[in-house]
Structure 1
C-alpha cells in the first residue's frame, strides 16, 4: 500500500511527475497511504483497500483539476463546508465538469462492479484478526487527525523548511511546486487559525496620527435628505479592452458612457473565475479577505450578526434594506447570512418565477425591472437595494442560443482558436446583452425625482482559459492579476474622477461620497485611502497593513474600533436588530 501510494501520487500529480524528489513524494503519498490503511482495517481486504483508496485519490485529483480549470485555485480545506451545496445543486455544478462528469459516472459504475467482485473474492481468503484490524483503524485515524491538524512532529514535517516553495497566500502556485496532497495538508494545518493576531500598536499609531480625521468621520451628521442607494454586483463583468487586439468600450458602451459621469476605475477583487462571495463579503463589510488568509468562504464561520455591514449601518439610519438575487437562497449560505448582515428583505429565485431568461439564468434586464418595480412601490423612506446578477455566470462554453446575433458588427480577434472563440462568443454575447440592460436600467433609475446613487461593479473576471491563452492581456499579466471595473454615479452633480480601488474600499467610498457617518473600521479605510493619496500613492503596502490589522482587530474583538484604534465602542450585538422578511 505504501509503494502503491507513492506510485499513484507520482502518476496523478504533474508537479511530482517531472521531478524525482523523495521528500516531496512521501509527503504527498502519506495521506493516500493512511486512507488505504483505514480501509484495510475496516474491511480486512488488502486488494479492496488498494483499489478503493486509489479510486478515492483519483476522484479527489479529478475534482481538484475541475476547480483549478474554472477558478484557478486548488481544492482547499474550506471547501469541505460546501459538501451539502454540491449535493443540493448538482445540476449547477455539473456545468463545470463537462465531459468529466460522464467519465466519472462511468468510472464509478465500473469501480463498483470491480469492488463487488473483489469483495466476494477476498471474502474467501483469510483476513487479519479483529484485534489487528482495530489497531490499523485506530492508528490510521490517529495519524490522519494529527497530520491535518499539524499536531506533534507533523507541523515540522510540512513546515517552510520542508516545503520551501509553499506560500499560503498563493495556493495554486504552491501546489504546482510542492504537490497537491502536501499542499492540502499544509493548508489544513494553517486553517486552524481563522483570525490572525492583529498588530494593535500599528493600528493605534495610525489612529494617533490621524485622530482628527477619524473623529470627524465618526461624528459626521448624515444629510437631511437621504438618497436611495442601488448596488449592482455584476457577475463576471470586466471590459475586454484589457486584452490585446481588443478595444475599450466596444462591448460595454453603456457602462463606459455612465462611468464617465461619475467615479470609476479598476477594481482589484479577491477571487478569479468564481468564489463570488469573497468579493461580495468585501463590498458589504469593507473587510479585506487578505486579512483572513485561512478563510476561503467568509459566509461559513466568519460572518456574524454583530458586524457593522453596509445594510446594517443604513438600517440604523432609517433605510429599508433589500437583496435581489435570482438564484437559490441556500447557495453560498445567503439565506442565513444576509439577515445577519442587515438585510430586512430578500428576494431569491422563486420570486422570479416566469421571468425572462437569457441562456441558463434569469436575464439582467428581468432582474433590473424587478428592482425598479419594488423601489417605486416601497414607500417614501430611503431604500438600499443590492442586486446580484446571474445572466453571465459561467461556465462560458455553452451554445449562445437566442443571443447568437447580439454581437452584431463587433469582430473578434483572428488570433482566437476554436475553443477560445466558443468561450468569447458566449461570454461577450451575454456581456453585450447585460450592458444594454444596464443602460436602460440606469436611465430609468436616475430619471426618478428622488436623489439616487448607483454603484455597479464586477465581482471577478470570467474563467476563459483558452481565450486568455490565445489573446493575452495588454500588460502581459496573468488573468488572476487582472482587474474588473466599477462606477459610482448619481442623478445629482458628482465630480467625475478616476480612482483605482480594491473591492473592500467600495463601502467607504459610498459612505464618503454621500456624506454618511463612518465609524469603526470604515473610517480607518477612508482615512487610509486619503493619506495614501496625499502620499502620492507611495508605500501602498504600509497602508494596506494598517487596514488588514484594523480589520483583524475589529473582527477579533467583535466591536467597532473607536478613533483611538481600540475596541471601545458598545458591542454591535447590543444594538437593535432589524427585522427580516425573506421571499424565495
Structure 2
C-alpha cells in the first residue's frame, strides 16, 4: 500500500510541476476546471504503468520520461501551430527526422527513443501482475479499435467536443482524454468509400457538369493552348507590413513585387493551413480539392493515381517537373508526386547545395538551377509544367553571411525581425528570377503564392501583438479566420500581365490555369472551383468560411448558424467526391462516360421510336446497376 501511495504521489507531483512549467514557458495548459479529470486520467495511466513496474524508482523514471515527452510535444505544437497533438501526427512524426539536424534532430530522436527504452527498462518481465496489466491495456485498445463509434459518443457526451477548436478541446479535457477521444473519432470515420449513388448525388448538388468556368473570357483565346505553365509555391511567404506593433524600420517586400501585386489587385491565396503542413497547400494547388482535416493529405489519404493538374496537362502533351530541395520522401512526396502525374521530381539530391541559409537552400540558388535545367525547353518542343516549391523561409528564418539583416523591429519578438529580413531577401530573389523568366518565356502562365503564414512565436506571437490574430482560436472574430490563411497571390497571363483574381482558395488555381490555357476538356479539376463564380468557400478543420465580395461568413461545425446551410452542404459533397477520387472507387471519373452512354441511348430511342423506348431505358438501367 505504501508503494502505491508513493507511486500515485509522484504522478501528482509530476503533473502539478508539468502544468505549471508549460503554462509559464509556453502559455498553454488545460483550463482550471479540467485539472481534476486530467489528473485523474494521468493517475489511471500511472497506476497501470506501476502494475507493470519492477520498482517505485524505475516507475518514477519511466513515468516522468513518458509523460514529459507527450506533454512537451503537445505544448510545443499548441504554441507554434495553435492546435494540440492529433492521432495523425504520430504517422507524420517520421518527417521530423528528415527536416531537423544537429541538436534538434537528436532531441527529437531522444523524445521518441527514451520513453520506449524507459518502459522496457521498467517492465517487470517475470511478474504475472505486469502481464495482466499489459493484457488489460491491449484489450482496452482492441475494444476502442473494434468499436470506436460508441466510445466517441460516450466521451463526447461527458467531455464535450468543440469541433472547430481543437485547442479548446484539449483545454477542457486534458491530454490523455483528448488523445483517446480523437483517436476513437479518427477510427470511426474510416467508413467505406462512397458508392456510385452517393457520388452522383454529390455531383448533382455541385452542379458539376464539365466544363465549368472561373474566367469565361479566357476561353475565347484557344490559340494559347500549349503555353508553358510555371507554378511557384513560396515557403511561408506573407506580407509583414500589417504587423503595426512590430515597428518595422522598412517595408520588407521588394517594391517591384508591390507593384506587380497591386496590378493583380493585391489578391490573396486562401490556404488550408497555418504555420506548417505545406503539403496540404500543394495538394490543393495540384488537384483542385480542398483539405479540411488536421492531417497531411499526402501521408495516407492519397491512395489512387488521379488526373490532377500534372497528369491532365500531360495528356495534352506537357512535360511536368516538380522541384523542391528538401529530402525527397518528406511528406511522402515521392509517392504523392507520382500519383498526381509528375514525370520528374528534383529533390535535394538533384541540386548543388551551394548557397545555404542554415539547412535551407536559398531561393536564388534554387531558381538559378531550375532555370538552367528547363532553359532549353522554353524555346520550343514539348510545353512544360514547371512546379517549384521553395525551401528557404522555414522557421526559425536563418540567413547566411551574404544576407545580413537590413530591417530592424521595435518588438522584443526576435522571430518578427528575422522573418522580415527573410521576406526582404525572398521577395528580391523572386523578382530578379521572375524578370529573367518572363524575358525568356513571355507567353507563359505564371502562378505564385505563399503556402501558409509564418509562425511568429508562441500562441500567434507577433500577430497577437498587432491584433491580427488572438492567442487562441476560441477568441477569433470572423475576420481573423481569413487573416489566418491569406497569403499573397499573383497570376500572370503571359504578355497580358497580371490577372485580377480576387481572394481565391488555393484549390481553385488548377481550374484557373486551365481556363487561361483555353483547355475545355472535362476534368475533375473544376468540380470544386466552378461551384460559384462569386461565392468562394474556404474549408478548414472544423470550420469553413465563405467570401462574397467583401462579405465574410464564418460557419463553425457543430453550431447552428444562419446562412451556412448551402455552404455546409457544398463542403459535405466535396468531401464525398474527395474520398471517392483519392482513395475510393473513382466513380466520379466515370460520370462523363455514363452521361455520354445515356445520351447515346436517348438518340437511339428517338431513332427507334416509341416501340423501342422501354427496352432501351431498361437495358441502360441494367448496365448502370
TM-score (norm 2): 0.74
Shift of 1:33: 4.4
Gaps of 5+ in 1: 571-584
Mapped to 2, the partners of 1:249 and 1:508 lie a distance apart of: 33
Shift of 1:363: 0.8
Report the counterpart of residue 187 of structure 1 in structure 2.
182
Shift of 1:541: 6.5
Report the counterpart of residue 542 of structure 1 in structure 2.
566
Report the counterpart of residue 162 of structure 1 in structure 2.
158
Report the counterpart of residue 579 of structure 1 in structure 2.
none
Shift of 1:310: 1.2
Shift of 1:93: 8.4
Shift of 1:189: 0.8
Report the counterpart of residue 344 of structure 1 in structure 2.
343
Count of aligned pairs: 535
Instruction: Please tell me whether the aligned partners of residues 309 and 525 of structure 2 are also in contact (alpha carbons under 8 angstroms).
Output: no
Report the counterpart of residue 485 of structure 1 in structure 2.
488
Mapped to 2, the partners of 1:152 and 1:442 lie a distance apart of: 52
Is residue 321 of structure 2 the alignment partner of residue 322 of structure 1? yes
Is residue 76 of structure 2 the alignment partner of residue 66 of structure 1? yes
Is residue 283 of structure 2 the alignment partner of residue 281 of structure 1? yes
Shift of 1:289: 1.0
Shift of 1:516: 1.8
Instruction: Please tell me whether the aligned partners of residues 406 and 429 of structure 1 are also in contact (alpha carbons under 8 angstroms).
Output: yes
Report the counterpart of residue 40 of structure 2 in structure 1.
26
Mapped to 2, the partners of 1:499 and 1:340 lie a distance apart of: 30
Q: Relative to 1, partners in 2 of residues 1:223 and 1:82: Cα closer, same or farther, differing over 3 Å? A: same
Instruction: Please tell me whether the aligned partners of residues 214 and 533 of structure 2 are also in contact (alpha carbons under 8 angstroms).
Output: no
Q: Greater shift after overlay, 371-380 or 244-253? A: 244-253
Mapped to 2, the partners of 1:432 and 1:115 lie a distance apart of: 50
Report the counterpart of residue 511 of structure 1 in structure 2.
514
- 1:435-494 residue CA offsets vs partner (Å, 9 max, x unmatched): 111111111111125520110010111111243343332998379725212110132215
Q: Relative to 1, partners in 2 of residues 1:318 and 1:405: Cα closer, same or farther, differing over 3 Å? A: same
- 1:344-378 residue CA offsets vs partner (Å, 9 max, x unmatched): 11111122224322343111111111222222223
- 1:57-85 residue CA offsets vs partner (Å, 9 max, x unmatched): 11111122222233222221112223433
Instruction: Please tell me whether the aligned partners of residues 266 and 489 of structure 2 are also in contact (alpha carbons under 8 angstroms).
Output: yes
Partner-residue secondary structure (3-state), 1:477: helix
Instruction: Please tell me whether the aligned partners of residues 520 and 563 of structure 1 are also in contact (alpha carbons under 8 angstroms).
Output: no
Q: Relative to 1, partners in 2 of residues 1:30 and 1:518: Cα closer, same or farther, differing over 3 Å? A: farther
Mapped to 2, the partners of 1:355 and 1:227 lie a distance apart of: 32
Match of 2:465 among 450, 453, 470: 470
Shift of 1:22: 4.2
Gaps of 5+ in 2: 1-6, 24-28, 470-476, 537-546, 554-562, 598-625
Q: Provide the alpha-carbon RMSD of the alignment.
A: 4.1
Partner-residue secondary structure (3-state), 2:448: strand
Partner-residue secondary structure (3-state), 1:328: coil
Larger relative helix fraction: 2
Q: Greater shift after overlay, 243-252 or 541-550? A: 243-252
Mapped to 2, the partners of 1:302 and 1:323 lie a distance apart of: 20
Shift of 1:384: 0.4
Mapped to 1, the partners of 2:512 and 2:38 lie a distance apart of: 47
Mapped to 1, the partners of 2:532 and 2:384 lie a distance apart of: 27
Q: Give 1:30-179 correspondences, 5 Å limit.
A: 30-34=44-48, 36=49, 40-41=51-52, 43-91=53-101, 94=104, 101=107, 130-147=127-144, 151=148, 154-159=151-156, 161-164=157-160, 166-179=161-174
Instruction: Please tell me whether the aligned partners of residues 213 and 511 of structure 2 are also in contact (alpha carbons under 8 angstroms).
Output: no
TM-score (norm 1): 0.79
Partner-residue secondary structure (3-state), 2:33: coil
Instruction: Please tell me whether the aligned partners of residues 359 and 400 of structure 1 are also in contact (alpha carbons under 8 angstroms).
Output: yes
Instruction: Please tell me whether the aligned partners of residues 236 and 460 of structure 1 are also in contact (alpha carbons under 8 angstroms).
Output: yes
Q: Greater shift after overlay, 516-525 or 561-570? A: 561-570
Report the counterpart of residue 258 of structure 1 in structure 2.
260
Report the counterpart of residue 367 of structure 1 in structure 2.
366
Instruction: Please tell me whether the aligned partners of residues 5 and 30 of structure 1 are also in contact (alpha carbons under 8 angstroms).
Output: no
Instruction: Please tell me whether the aligned partners of residues 320 and 343 of structure 2 are also in contact (alpha carbons under 8 angstroms).
Output: yes
Shift of 1:174: 1.8
Q: Relative to 1, partners in 2 of residues 1:54 and 1:152: Cα closer, same or farther, differing over 3 Å? A: farther
Report the counterpart of residue 561 of structure 1 in structure 2.
588
- 1:24-46 residue CA offsets vs partner (Å, 9 max, x unmatched): 54346545544x15xx43x5445
